[in-house]
Amino acid sequence: MRFAKRLLKNFDLLRVICAVLIGFAFALILLLFISKDPMNAIETFVLGPFKSRRRFFNIIELMIPLVFTSLGMCMMLSVGKYNLIVEGGFMFSGAIVAWLASSVFSPEMPAVVSPTLLIVVGALVGALCGVVPALLDVKWRANVVVITIMLNYILANASTFVLRYWMRDTTVTYLGSQKIAKSAKLHSIIAGTSMHTGVFIAFIAVLFTWWFINKTTKGYEVRLTGSNIKFAHYVGINTTAAMILAQAMGGSLAGIGGAVEILGKYDRFLWVNQTGYGFTGLMIAVLVNYRPELTPLVAFLFAYLQIGANIVGTTTDVPTEFVLVFQSVIILLVAASLFMSSLKKRLAIKVSMAEAEG
């Protein structure tokens, strides 16, 4: 009985775990069919990411941008808006930060001040990216999903513009920016890997977002507006302000993510296509039901899957892309609101019956 009650309370989590397990089973079955040596492929996929120190830290590195974008999406979804600008904001902030870091910032500048300043710039650029669709939405009732998808293309092309015309290094054969000043970069923290201090910033961002949403009055207004805007209006909350604030913050989290990614992992700015981190962030935010404190967990899972798939792609006969099937199954099951709903109903009835008796 106590168990049933606890199960009911954490039902969302149970749902996600079930979805992940089903997705995992699905991926393994898929491997059986597409690989000539399925056992090897499965082993590589499941255990590969843990087989060396470098690979393990690859997971953590990949986690960092995912944590930022999923936190950004948590903010957007908390206020009830499918604002997808996180994708473009991440990339564009990265471009602007790289441009500043490769032109304005000189190697002589103090090592801690420069990255801090640049991350603040990234946050501002991201916030701007988030506010534009929010304003279009509240002023003109423009559909946020449509405009942010379009804005994402504009921001991707704007980033490429910055790369080509403001900071391109013509001495290298590929399309890349000038070198980012050493002083602006985030330090590596573990020798032999490219693990950088961004992981701490991500950790702080998780704590901050959790604190903001759950413990501040503004965060409360955001939650109330997101969950029932009519109720929020009825108790006297300025819903317009709450919507703009949440989307600005969501954008700035993405912006910080872009800055941290560029300053932590890259010598030059190289992105010419959308990174996809924003959309993965959306998936993660949906999976954790907009709860920021859970994002690192699921971000780790997604990063692990991606790294595993990368290893499978390079060492076996299975293409990397098969991991997308896995991710899609999980998202499909979690997004399908009726998945496991009958079990939830039965549990709820059982619990309330028992309560009525005792």
Distance CA 170, CA 97 (A): 19
The residue among 105 and 212 lying less far from another protein, judged by its C-beta, is: 212
For another protein, which residue of 106, 116, 228, 314 counts as binding (CB under 8 A)?
228
Stretch that binds another protein, among 19-27, 228-236, 279-287, 320-328 (CB under 8 A): 228-236
Distance CA 121, CA 168 (A): 20
DSSP summary character for residue 317: S
Q: Residues 170, 88, 134, CA angle at the centre, nearest 5°?
A: 140
CA dihedral 185, 207, 214, 80 (to 10 degrees): 40
Beta bridge partners of 168: 177
Which residues fall within 8 angstroms of residue 21, CB to CB, at 6 or more apart? none
The residue among 141 and 230 lying less far from another protein, judged by its C-beta, is: 230
Residue 236 near another protein by CB under 8 A: yes
The residue among 153 and 231 lying less far from another protein, judged by its C-beta, is: 231
Residue 9 near another protein by CB under 8 A: yes
The residue among 139 and 230 lying less far from another protein, judged by its C-beta, is: 230
Residue 143 near another protein by CB under 8 A: no
* 8 A C-beta contact, residue 56 and residue 63: no
Q: Residues 105, 168, 252, CA angle at the centre, nearest 5°?
A: 55
For another protein, which residue of 55, 168, 179, 218 counts as binding (CB under 8 A)?
218
Tokens found for residue 191? 């020798």
Distance CA 169, CA 146 (A): 35
The residue among 139 and 215 lying less far from another protein, judged by its C-beta, is: 215
Residue 233 near another protein by CB under 8 A: yes
Stretch that binds another protein, among 104-112, 196-204, 229-237, 247-255 (CB under 8 A): 229-237
Site string for another protein, 185-214 (x = CB under 8 A): -----------------------------x
Site string for another protein, 11-40 (x = CB under 8 A): ------------------------------
Tokens found for residue 275? 């990174």
CA dihedral 260, 328, 150, 261 (to 10 degrees): 10
Q: How far is the CB of 290 from another protein (least distance, A)?
A: 11
Supply the DSSP string of 124-182, one letter for each residue: HHHHHHHHHHHHHHHHH---HHHHHHHHHHHHHHHHHHIIIIISB-TTSSSS-BPPPPG
Q: How far is the CB of 22 from another protein (least distance, A)?
A: 25
Residue 151 near another protein by CB under 8 A: no
For another protein, which residue of 2, 171, 230, 321 counts as binding (CB under 8 A)?
230
For another protein, which residue of 220, 279, 300, 339 counts as binding (CB under 8 A)?
220
Within 10 A of 324 (CB to CB), how many other CB atoms are there? 14
Q: How far is the CB of 339 from another protein (least distance, A)?
A: 18
Residue 350 near another protein by CB under 8 A: no
For another protein, which residue of 33, 108, 174, 235 counts as binding (CB under 8 A)?
235
Instruction: Summarize as ranges the residues that interact with another protein (CB under 8 A).
Output: 5, 9, 214-218, 220, 223-224, 227-228, 230-238, 348, 355
